[in-house]
């Protein structure tokens, strides 16, 4: 990178509070992400044509590729000179894609990223099996990085994700779910993979434990912030429509922070509404509208975003052990973006 670009990035960071974006991190990781995308395309192939067709439906469906981007950014942050980060980033994306495919089956989703979900087009059986295929491919890719600790970290993250998903399933339709339980769930189902995606960059680069931990912290806090904002947007009267069906959490009876806070702050009439709605007895468009109205009255979308902002600040603080650099600034801005986004 030229000094000119570097200085323009640092310059930019001074006004990033105004409108944080992913532009910097996207630009700095673009060459690496080209390599990652090539690995993804090569390794989703199979002699069984349904596999690349179904996997491609989701993989080329325009996700943000946040997680693999974090692996590439992390490798740049620690000054890694090798090439293993591309395989690892692709593995991280495959694990994520596998969980999305299985989530769509689990939730009976109709939409994913604004398109028909894979299970709707290809059916549940193929969707489950192609998830399994991608999950296996992820481990094949990791073996390529020739590092057992990386395998341990990502295998453990995968187990924790599954635990978080089952935990969420158990908590579904239970209005008494506590904030602490909810935070446990999102730490497992979302933040664990963000943390692992970041940490493995330091591991392949053979960096000291302190740097590994700092990257893990950054990813974990960012993951929590990211999920909190996802959950806020689902009830945000001002947010644009998301890719997934708006109000899905409400109809699925998932207890997310905006609802947990609204239930805690509500009067008895509102609490009865939440009990009936989360139990699944109130799930019409009008019921969703009422939920959004109650949540707006108590300001719990804003409170959830505020909580996310605190996690984003912790993520940023975790990076302070690294010397200032354009990629560090871009990663800081990415944390702010995760919170500021409206979609």
d(CA 230, CA 301): 10
Residue with tokens 């481990």: 139
171: enclosing H helix or E strand: helix 148-171
Q: Of all helices (H) and strands (E), which one includes residue 332? A: helix 326-340
Q: Min. distance of Cβ 38 from a copy of itself in angstroms?
A: 19
When the beta carbons of 105 and 239 are compared against a copy of itself, the nearer one is 105
Burial class (CB in 10 A: 0-12, 13-18, 19+), 10: middle
Among 29, 158, 177, 300, binds a copy of itself (CB under 8 A): 158
Residue from the set 41, 111, 162, 175 that interacts with a copy of itself by CB under 8 A? 162
Task: Verify binding: residue 42, a copy of itself, rule CB under 8 A.
Answer: no
Q: Which of 156, 151, 222, 154 is nearest to 190 (CA)?
A: 222
Minimum gap (Å) between residue 119 Cβ and a copy of itself: 11
Q: CA 237, CA 260: separation in Å to the nearest integer?
A: 17
Among 30, 169, 264, 279, binds a copy of itself (CB under 8 A): 169
Q: Give the range of 110-118, 154-162, 221-229, 319-327 binding a copy of itself by CB under 8 A.
A: 154-162
Restricting to residues 294-333, which ones interact with a copy of itself according to CB under 8 A? none
CA distance 84 to 263: 47
Q: Which stretch binds a copy of itself (CB under 8 A): 73-81, 99-107, 204-212, 226-234?
A: 99-107
Neighbours of 251 (CB within 10 A): 17
Is residue 10 within the footprint of a copy of itself (CB under 8 A)? no
| 106 CB-near residues (< 8 Å, 6+ apart) | 165, 169
- Contact flag: residue 130 with a copy of itself (CB under 8 A): yes
Residues that bind a copy of itself (CB under 8 A): 46-51, 98-99, 102, 105-107, 124-126, 128-133, 135-137, 139-140, 142-143, 146, 148, 151-152, 155-156, 158-159, 161-163, 165-167, 169-170
């Amino acid at each position: 990178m030229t000094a000119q670009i570097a200085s323009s990035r640092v310059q930019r960071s001074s006004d990033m509070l105004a409108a944080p974006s992913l532009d910097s991190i996207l630009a700095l990781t673009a060459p690496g992400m080209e390599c990652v995308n090539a690995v993804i395309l090569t390794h989703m192939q199979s002699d069984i044509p349904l596999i690349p067709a179904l996997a491609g439906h989701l993989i080329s469906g325009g996700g943000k590729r946040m997680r693999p981007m974090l692996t590439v950014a992390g490798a740049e942050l620690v000054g890694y000179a090798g090439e293993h980060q591309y395989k690892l980033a692709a593995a991280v994306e495959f694990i994520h894609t596998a969980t999305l495919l299985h989530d769509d089956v689990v939730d009976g989703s109709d939409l994913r990223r604004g398109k028909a979900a894979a299970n709707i087009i290809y059916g549940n059986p193929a969707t489950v099996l192609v998830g399994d295929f991608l999950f296996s491919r992820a481990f094949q890719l990791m073996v390529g990085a020739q590092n057992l600790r990386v395998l341990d970290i990502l295998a453990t993250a995968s187990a924790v994700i599954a635990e978080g998903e089952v935990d969420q399933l158990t908590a579904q339709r239970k209005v008494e779910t506590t904030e602490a339980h909810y935070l446990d769930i999102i730490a497992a189902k979302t933040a664990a993979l963000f943390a692992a995606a970041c940490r493995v960059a330091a591991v392949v680069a053979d960096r000291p434990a302190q740097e590994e931990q700092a990257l893990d912290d950054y990813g974990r806090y960012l993951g929590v912030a990211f999920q909190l904002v996802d959950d806020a947007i689902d009830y945000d009267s001002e947010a644009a429509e998301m890719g997934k069906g708006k109000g899905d959490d409400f109809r699925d009876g998932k207890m997310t922070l905006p609802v947990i806070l609204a239930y805690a702050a509500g009067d008895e009439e509102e609490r009865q509404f939440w009990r009936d709605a989360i139990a699944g007895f109130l799930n019409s468009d009008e019921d969703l509208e009422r939920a959004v109205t109650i949540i707006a009255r108590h300001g719990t979308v804003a409170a959830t975003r505020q909580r996310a902002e605190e996690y984003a600040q912790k993520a940023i603080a975790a990076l302070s052990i690294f010397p200032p650099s354009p990629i560090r600034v871009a990663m800081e801005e990415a944390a702010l973006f995760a919170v500021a986004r409206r979609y």
